[in-house]
Amino acid sequence: MENYQTIFQSSSSSSHLSLLNTLNSQAQTQRQDHNKSNGYSRITSMEIPGSSISGVTQSNSLTGVETEVKIGKKRGEKISRKPRYAFQTRTQVDILDDGYRWRKYGQKAVKNNKFPSYYRCTYQGCTVKKQVQRLSNDEGMVVTTYEGTHSHPIEKSTDNFEHILSQMQIYPSI
């Protein structure tokens, strides 16, 4: 976990998928190191200087956390854990388009937070889920949690987001 910046710079042609895959790999690596039991382990922190996202006026700071979700409800099934990556983004727009097609399937009120929105990837066979929460503390703070990994190419051409990713800087630990 030393060369975060290098990894991101090398993902110039593969776009957003590379970002998530990169985080995926690093998350797994760190998971072995820390092996947190509380379920949340901070893996990366990103900061985006004032960018060109429509609606964003100030700097964005992304914080990625990886979570292990164990599903042991079924019978003798193997221990399946779903990777979850949470990004804390300081922006005014709730929906950060990462290039995939998302379909909202639920919205429920939570005590400490605002109304979290639940999204699912509409690609056939893709069970990746995304949860967007808005912190009541900071209106501009949005927590996006990705659950699962995409196994298909990106449909949309979000040059905007990609541009931001290129400017993204990750610090080893904050």
Partner DNA sequence: CGGATTTGACCGGCGC
Partner DNA sequence: GCGCCGGTCAAATCCG
Per CB under 7 A, residues contacting DNA are: 73, 101-112, 116-118, 120, 122, 129, 131
Cβ distance to DNA smaller for residue 155 or 159? 155
Cβ distance to DNA smaller for residue 16 or 120? 120
Give CA torsion, residues 11, 16, 44, 121, to 10 deg: -150
CB of 127 to DNA, least distance (A): 10
CB of 68 to DNA, least distance (A): 14
CA angle 2/27/92 to nearest 5° reads: 95
Q: List % helix, strand, coil for the chain (3-state, nearest 5).
A: 20, 35, 45
CB of 71 to DNA, least distance (A): 10
CB of 114 to DNA, least distance (A): 12
Cβ distance to DNA smaller for residue 116 or 140? 116
Residue-by-residue DSSP string for 117-158: EEEEE-STT---EEEEEEBSS-TTEEEEEEES---S---S--
Cβ distance to DNA smaller for residue 112 or 173? 112
